[in-house]
Amino acid sequence: MKKVLSILLVLVMTAALAACGTGNNGNSDNTTKDNSANNGGTGNGGTTVSEGDNTLTVWCWDPAFNIYAMQEAEKVYQKTNPDFKLNIIETPWDDVQTKITTAASSGDLSTLPDIFLMQDNAFQKNYTNFPDVFTDLTDSGIAFDSFAPAKVAYSVVEGKNYGVPFDNGTGINSLRTDILDQAGYTIDDFRDITWDRYIEIGKDVLAKTKMPLLSGQAGSPDLIMEMLQSCGQSLFKEDGSPNIVGNEALEEAINIYTAMVKEGILIEVNDWDQYIGTLTNGTVAGTINGCWILASIQSATDQSGKWALTNVPSLNDIPNATNYTNNGGSSWAISTNCKDVDLAVDFLSKTFAGSVEFYETILPSSGALATYLPAGDSEVYAQPSEFFGGQTIYSDITEFAGKVPSNITGVYYYEARDAVGTAMTNVVGGANLESELKNAEDTIKFQMGQ
């Protein structure tokens, strides 16, 4: 969560892609703070409206990003439905999770809003645990085929759609072109390469410039998870059982990570703030992360024109390996407590799932890149980025998003992720890989009651 909060703080502070301070501070008349302190209530102004008054209640977090997007979506929809209103309640993700759990556990869903935001990696777990909370949107008419397939897959359970995709977490390989130039490389040398080639170039860049290519938080398996998704692999099998021991893609990913640390190509730091610092103070030559990291990169205004981005490296000898991945993101859900499902569906269909104009509007101020594929063809998305040397980064990233393989998050995604993070840390420290993966799988099986 600290990572998310740090990202959003940068979004508020920075300009261009991350310029979020353009008069939208989340305190507009139709936004209220949720002060219900995790008690399952809806806070100030949080009572779901009665049927027929053309108003929908929404739970989401971050005034500069998600709330701002909802406010702009309201304006777009009001062009065809002037009396429409949103009652947006600022609700941190942890509170959303707690309130859903409380409502479902008590059997009283009346405290839920009409629409709420759900982290993608938590969608499968929440639906599995609380299926009565989510409205089936499969036959609603929402154009799911207009989104990147991997993004849609996060909110699909047993072939049915329960979420409308929003923000883009597509993986990017961002690099300092001035440092690459010193070592005799360009961004083109990193396009469509394998991790073996990445390490080879990384050694050369380090030798010539004394600059590592990457940094990361010690113990965080983010990069490992990105490597897995790049070939459609997961920590779980289709039947929900753990896929850790014998997972060749996972073994390859941890071996690559360990090799980069030992070679000095990747430096580990203690926390998120230090990680961001390595990018903004010129400690490293690049980063591989979800595209939301662009906001943090661009906070270093003195580095404008010195960055470029391309797709990520692929695993070396793994079936279905690609140069595309994802890290993070969220989707909108309609609760079964919604008093006007038709209105909620129509609203989402004509904004988040149907309006290029909407995505063009929110991009400059929030940096909210779409997984809505038609937006990638818009003139706004085709505008060159001065910070990234004139590269059309928005349309490039949208193209990448359409090529990201789907994977299985599983009900115990976060537990498995943490266990693999511990295994990774121990392997970097010299422990046996097979033993550590066995320990990780045993940990997950215990938590699953197996």
What is d(CA 440, CA 450) in angstroms, rounded to the nearest whole number?
14
Half-sphere exposure of 206 toward its Cβ, with a 13 Å CA cutoff? 17
Quote the tokens at residue 176: 């300092």
Angle at 232 between CA 230 and CA 233, to 5 degrees: 100
Quote the tokens at residue 239: 């039947």
Q: What is the DSSP letter of 409?
A: -
Closest CA to 127 of 331, 350, 372: 331
Q: Are 46 and 57 in contact (CB under 8 A)?
A: yes
What is d(CA 206, CA 191) in angstroms, rounded to the nearest whole number?
19
CA separation (Å) from 413 to 6, 123, 217, 222, 426?
22, 10, 19, 12, 20
Per-residue confidence in pLDDT tens, the chain, 450 aa: 434 334 333 333 333 333 333 333 333 346 666 644 333 333 333 334 344 589 999 999 988 789 999 999 999 999 999 999 999 999 999 999 999 999 999 999 999 999 999 999 899 999 999 999 999 999 999 999 999 999 999 999 999 999 999 988 899 999 999 999 999 999 999 999 999 999 999 999 999 999 999 999 999 999 999 999 999 999 999 899 999 999 999 999 999 999 999 999 999 999 989 999 999 999 999 999 999 888 889 889 999 999 999 999 999 989 999 999 999 889 999 999 999 999 999 999 999 999 999 999 998 767 788 889 999 888 998 999 999 999 999 999 989 999 999 998 888 998 999 999 999 999 999 999 999 999 999 999 999 998
What is d(CA 286, CA 355) in angstroms, rounded to the nearest whole number?
34
What is d(CA 150, CA 148) in angstroms, rounded to the nearest whole number?
6
What is d(CA 228, CA 79) in angstroms, rounded to the nearest whole number?
43
CA separation (Å) from 220 to 101, 123, 331?
27, 21, 24
DSSP string, 323-364: S--B---EEEEEBTT-S-HHHHHHHHHTTTTT-HHHHHHHHH
What is d(CA 268, CA 146) in angstroms, rounded to the nearest whole number?
38
